Amino acid sequence: MDFKDPFQDVQADRVTAYFQPQYCALTKTITGIEVIAHWSHPAYDRLSTTHFKHDTPEHIVHWVLFSCALSNAIQLHRHTLNIDPTIIYTYIIDASLLKSRHFASNVLEALKIFDIPLHTIALEISGKVDTPMSLEYIDNITTLMNCQVGLSLGNFGASDSPFDILADMPFTQIKLNTNFALTNSSIKKNQIISSIISMAKSLHLKVIANEIETEKQFAQLQHLGVDAAQGNFFHPPMTGEKLLTLLLDNTTTY
């Protein structure tokens, strides 16, 4: 497979944003939108941007991809504000960006240009988070939180040491990895997931269940107390046009 340089493909409009709605577990209405960057490979259709081959420093590539996702999503975000101003747009960023000096100020400057209310933005941290955190980590996180940008810990339950990270970073929500809970489900597994959810709520964190594939899985996680959920059971990642049609539907329920 011929993996190309990301900058060439960004310039060729091959990196595009797809969108996956998040549904409230109680009202079953859309409360959030996750923005996912995909690479439109001419021979292999949609691929994750992790397939890029490049010699450019990692944090620069991740910044280019984040900027591309943001610029692709921003017009739809503006439309969403007119439909429901409470919906949160979550952008996935690699943890390595938090080590970059001025990352937060660059994000805030971009959002200022696009004129998007900061409290409607969350950044989901993926990849390995360094512990203990460097001064750059702390400065970026503090700057974002002081400006009401939310922070989400992605793939919770699959990391080596998520509790150290939770203790050190002021997250507003966690994205729960559901593979553990839903694969060969047992009473003990359910008790563990329920305890994690209770812990998160005691820390005033919103819990979002990821990769829900069936109604049975959603019902199980509803019972365990998650706040919201996303996955192919509701909708797979979709284009901006399809998401706008969904948002304009009066019900906005799955």
138: pLDDT strictly greater than 80: yes
Q: Compute, in degrees rounded to 10, the torsion defined by CA atoms 111, 115, 116, 117.
A: 110
Average pLDDT over residues 34-48: 68
Q: 127 near 95, Cβ under 8 Å? A: yes
pLDDT class for 184, splitting at 50, 70, 90?
Answer: low
Bridge partners, residue 21, by sequence: 33
For the chain, domain boundaries: 6-248
* Enclosing H/E stretch for 194: helix 187-202
Provide the pLDDT confidence category of residue 43 given band limits of 50, 70 and 90: low
Q: Are 31 and 11 in contact (CB under 8 A)?
A: no
Go through the chain and tell me how many residues it has.
Answer: 254
pLDDT band at 26 (very low <50, low <70, confident <90, very high): very high
CB contact at 8 A, 6 and 31: no
Half-sphere exposure of residue 210: CA atoms within 13 angstroms, side-chain side:
18
Phi-psi domain of 115 (left: phi exceeds 0; alpha: psi -120 through 50; beta: other)? left
* Statement: residue 236 has pLDDT above 60: yes
Regarding predicted confidence, which is higher, 217 or 39?
Answer: 217
Q: Report the pLDDT value the prediction gives residue 238, as an integer from 0 to 100.
A: 94
Measured CA distances, 18 to 13, 34, 45, 61, 85 (Å): 13, 8, 13, 19, 20
**What class does CATH assign to 6-248?**
alpha beta
Question: Tell me, what's the pLDDT at 60?
Answer: 76
Q: Which residue has the higher pLDDT, 225 or 170?
A: 225
Mean pLDDT for the stretch of residues 50-65: 69
Output the pLDDT for position 160.
Answer: 52
Phi-psi region of 170 (alpha: psi -120 to 50; beta: other; left: phi over 0): beta
3-state secondary structure labels for all residues of 112-165:
HHHCCCHHHEEEEEECCCCCCCCHHHHHHHHHHHHCCCEEEEEEECCCCCHHHH
Q: Which residues, other chains included, contact 69 with Cβ-Cβ below 8 Å and sequence gap of 6+?
A: 15, 17, 35, 36, 37, 91, 92
DSSP bridge partners of 40: 46
What backbone torsions phi and psi does residue 250 show, to the nearest 5 degrees? Answer: -60, -30
Q: Is pLDDT of 52 > 90? A: no
User: What pLDDT shows up at residue 167?
Assistant: 73
The one-letter code for the residue type at 15 is: V
pLDDT band at residue 157 under the 50/70/90 scheme: low
Residue 96: per-residue pLDDT: 87
Taking residues 106-129, what's their average pLDDT? 89
pLDDT at 169: 76
Residue 12 has pLDDT above 70, yes or no: no
Cβ atoms 159, 165 nearer than 8 A: yes
- Say how far apart CA 47 and CA 70 lie, in whole Å: 18
Average pLDDT over residues 179-203: 80
Highest mean pLDDT among 54-63, 82-91, 195-204: 82-91
Percentage of the chain modeled with pLDDT above 90: 42
Q: pLDDT averaged over the chain?
A: 82
